[in-house]
């Protein structure tokens, strides 16, 4: 499993797992960050620090039942992280590619990376470490214009029952870097292992706090309701001066996936349990194939989290305590067998293939006020997809419906195609609609559905908004929709750019409560 002298340096260990900690800090804490969740994040960091400190003073497990329990834990965590990585790539990079294809390539590279040797992987992480940090710093600089530091004064730090549970759940995910516990015997210069573990925790904790506060200053007290990747959604707001590049999603998601790939490789590496002979090679193929089958299932995250929160993480804590006091690993044999029996049904999970579907690329959505909480939606489309000529454009679609989801269903019944909002540029709301009480219901739907990017621009139309969606050209500068969502949630006024009756983009109107 190790090349050369069979050892890795403390610096390589730190850089590899620091990248893993930074990737997790950007992916997970912003999901729960809102006005009252600061206490949960601080609790998670404290629990994480205590656990890593325990690994620094406790020898790594050697008894096979104890190692089996740890490997099951890593296998479940790695499988969930692969699925999250696949969803991230599918949503922001390869929107028309089936998830099983994306995760399949991911597993192939994971297998090659793990089988070629841990030392090689650490050196790759060492090379990518400064590049990874530079990209994240660049993102912060580009996003600075959307940050409102004054919102930090509204933060509240306290813990209730839900807050404690939220902190524990975040700790369970951050604990993915505990795989370094099994590398303790392969470190060159074992005296520096404790310092490396402390530096890994310190780096991860600082980045966790930084990303949490950073996204809070963008989205405010509302947090990131039901958004799967809030920080990636925030990336859609970033642009170079002069709007040379309007969307940097691909660049930063690519760096993000690199970090998650290295983390998944670190979680699957202990499954080799020694040098890569034929026996271990075939076992690794089987375990990764089983992980691939489970990872393709939509229930992967749901069931995996249940095991993570209530079975494998408590067992990891118990094993660390028992091993810390020099207890025999034999007492964990029955627990290991029981946990393996619980895991067996997941190895039988098949892969549900996704068929590539024809999609209509929605470029703009106009909404006019109707009668009795009914809206008039107009969808403007870009170049047609699904095998049609690229220079052909689909005709705008209009529907009277009570919600966006209902309008999309009407479109499906009419055209048998799915609406793709990945390239949505603008929302146009009529001034009459802004005065209606029902407008808040539309905002609630936009906030709850993650398909609508928070960087989509918003305009108010003096006359009927439907004509604006039918245009071929749409503005590239304006007010992102997350600002009107924040104003609506915090009950604060905001100013929305106006499309005049002559079709020009000029001036602003106030939208008060």
Residue 496 included in any domain? yes
Segment among 136-150, 242-256, 259-273, 354-368 with least mean pLDDT = 242-256
85 within domain boundaries: yes
What is the predicted pLDDT for the residue at 130? 78
Q: How far is 323 from 342, CA to CA, in rounded Å?
A: 24
Tell me: pLDDT of 365 over 90. Answer: yes
Does residue 30 belong to any structural domain of this protein?
yes
Beta carbons of 397 and 379 less than 8 angstroms apart: yes
Task: Give strand pairing partners of 401.
Answer: 375
Domain count, the chain: 2
pLDDT band at 235 (very low <50, low <70, confident <90, very high): low
Gyration radius of the chain's alpha carbons: 25
Predicted pLDDT of residue 342 = 42
User: When comparing pLDDT for 277 and 437, which is higher?
Assistant: 437
Same domain for 76 and 212? yes
Residues 109 and 233 in one domain: yes
- Whether 2 is in a domain gets the answer no
- pLDDT over 50 (residue 119): no
Q: Of 347, 376, 400, which closes a domain?
A: 347
What per-residue confidence (pLDDT) applies to 82?
92
- Same-domain check for residues 484 and 441: yes
Q: Are residues 180 and 284 in the same domain?
A: yes
Give tens-digit pLDDT for 298-342.
Answer: 889 889 999 999 998 898 888 888 776 654 444 444 444 444 444
- Whether residue 254 is contained in a domain is answered as yes
* Better-predicted residue by pLDDT, 404 or 178: 404
The answer on 96 and 55 residing in a single domain is yes
Q: 367, 426 in Cβ contact below 8 A? A: no
Q: Is residue 4 part of a domain?
A: no
Q: Quick one: average pLDDT of 430-448?
A: 86
Question: How far is Cα 284 from Cα 78, in angstroms, rounded to an integer?
Answer: 13
Question: What are phi and psi for residue 512, nearest 5 degrees?
Answer: -90, 165
Residues 175 and 317 grouped into a single domain:
yes
Six token digits for residue 187: 């470190």
Name the more confident of 112 and 200.
Answer: 200
Q: Write down the pTM of the prediction.
A: 0.67
- The residues, any chain, with a CB within 8 Å of residue 432's CB and separated by 6 or more, are 368, 369
Rounded Cα gap, residues 29 and 35, in angstroms:
13
Last residue of some domain: 326, 347, 368? 347
Tell me, yes or no, whether 183 and 150 share the same domain: yes
Residue 3 counted as domain residue: no
pLDDT value at 282 more than 90: no
Same domain, 277 and 397: no
The DSSP element (H or E) to which 369 belongs, if any, is: strand 359-369
Same structural domain, 259 and 337: yes
**Distance between CA 234 and CA 229 in Å, rounded?**
9
Asked if the structure places residue 153 within a domain, the reply is yes
- Considering the domain architecture, whether residues 99 and 141 belong to the same structural domain is answered as yes
pLDDT reported for residue 320: 81
Q: Rounded CA gap, 109 and 17, in Å?
A: 19
Q: Are residues 286 and 405 in the same domain?
A: no
Where a domain ends, among 347, 377, 412?
A: 347
What does the pLDDT average to over 46-55? 89
**Do 329 and 400 sit in the same domain of this protein?**
no
Longest dimension (CA), the chain: 81
Question: Please, are residues 126 and 15 in contact by the beta-carbon 8 Å criterion?
Answer: yes
Task: Tell me the pLDDT of the chain averaged across its residues.
Answer: 77
The residue range of the domain holding 329 is: 10-347
Burial letters 175-194, b for 16+ CB under 10 A, else e? bbbbbbbbbbebbeeeebbb
Q: What is the Cβ-side half-sphere exposure of residue 400, based on CA atoms within 13 angstroms? A: 6
């Amino acid at each position: 499993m190790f090349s050369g002298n069979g050892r890795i340096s403390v610096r390589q260990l730190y850089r590899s797992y620091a990248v893993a900690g930074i990737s997790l800090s950007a992916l997970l804490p912003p999901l729960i960050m809102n006005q009252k969740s600061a206490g949960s994040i601080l609790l998670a960091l404290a629990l994480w620090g205590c656990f890593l400190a325990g690994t620094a003073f406790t020898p790594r497990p050697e008894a096979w039942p104890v190692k089996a329990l740890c490997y099951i834990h890593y296998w479940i965590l790695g499988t969930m992280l692969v699925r999250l990585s696949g969803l991230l790539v599918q949503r922001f990079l390869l929107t028309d590619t089936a998830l099983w294809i994306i995760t399949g390539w991911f597993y192939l590279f994971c297998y090659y990376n793990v089988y070629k040797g841990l030392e090689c992987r650490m050196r790759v992480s060492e090379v990518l470490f400064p590049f990874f940090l530079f990209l994240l710093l660049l993102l912060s600089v580009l996003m600075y214009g959307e940050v409102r530091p004054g919102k930090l004064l509204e933060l509240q730090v306290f813990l209730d029952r839900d807050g404690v549970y939220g902190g524990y759940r975040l700790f369970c995910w951050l604990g993915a870097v505990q795989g370094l516990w099994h590398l303790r015997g392969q470190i060159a210069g074992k005296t520096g292992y404790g310092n490396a573990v402390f530096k890994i925790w310190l780096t991860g904790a600082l980045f966790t706090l930084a990303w949490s506060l950073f996204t809070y200053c963008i989205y405010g007290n509302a947090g990131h309701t039901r958004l799967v990747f809030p920080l990636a959604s925030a990336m859609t707001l970033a642009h170079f001066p002069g709007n040379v590049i309007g969307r940097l999603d691909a660049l930063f998601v690519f760096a993000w996936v690199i970090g998650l790939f290295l983390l998944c490789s670190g979680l699957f590496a202990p499954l080799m349990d020694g040098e890569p002979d034929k026996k271990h090679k075939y076992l690794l193929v089987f375990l990764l194939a089983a992980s691939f089958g489970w990872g393709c299932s939509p229930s992967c995250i749901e069931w995996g989290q249940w095991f993570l929160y209530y079975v494998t993480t408590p067992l990891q804590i118990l094993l660390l305590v028992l091993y810390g006091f020099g207890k025999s690993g034999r007492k964990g044999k029955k627990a290991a067998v029981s946990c393996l029996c619980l895991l067996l049904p997941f190895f039988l999970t098949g892969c549900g293939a996704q068929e590539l579907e024809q999609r209509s690329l929605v470029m703009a959505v106009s909404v006019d006020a109707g009668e009795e909480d009914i809206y008039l939606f107009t969808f403007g489309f870009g170049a047609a997809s699904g095998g049609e000529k690229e220079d052909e454009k689909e005709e705008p679609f209009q529907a009277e419906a009570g919600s966006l989801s209902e309008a999309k269903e009407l479109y499906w019944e009419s055209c048998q195609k799915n609406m793709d909002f990945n390239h949505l540029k603008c929302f146009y709301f009529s001034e009459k609609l802004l005065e209606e009480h029902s407008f808040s219901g539309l905002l609630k739907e936009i906030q709850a559905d993650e398909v609508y990017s928070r960087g989509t621009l918003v305009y108010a139309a003096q006359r009927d908004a439907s004509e604006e969606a039918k245009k071929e050209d749409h503005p590239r500068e304006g007010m992102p929709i997350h600002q009107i969502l924040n104003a609506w949630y915090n009950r604060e006024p905001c100013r929305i750019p106006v499309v005049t009756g002559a079709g020009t983009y000029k001036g602003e109107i106030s939208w008060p409560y």
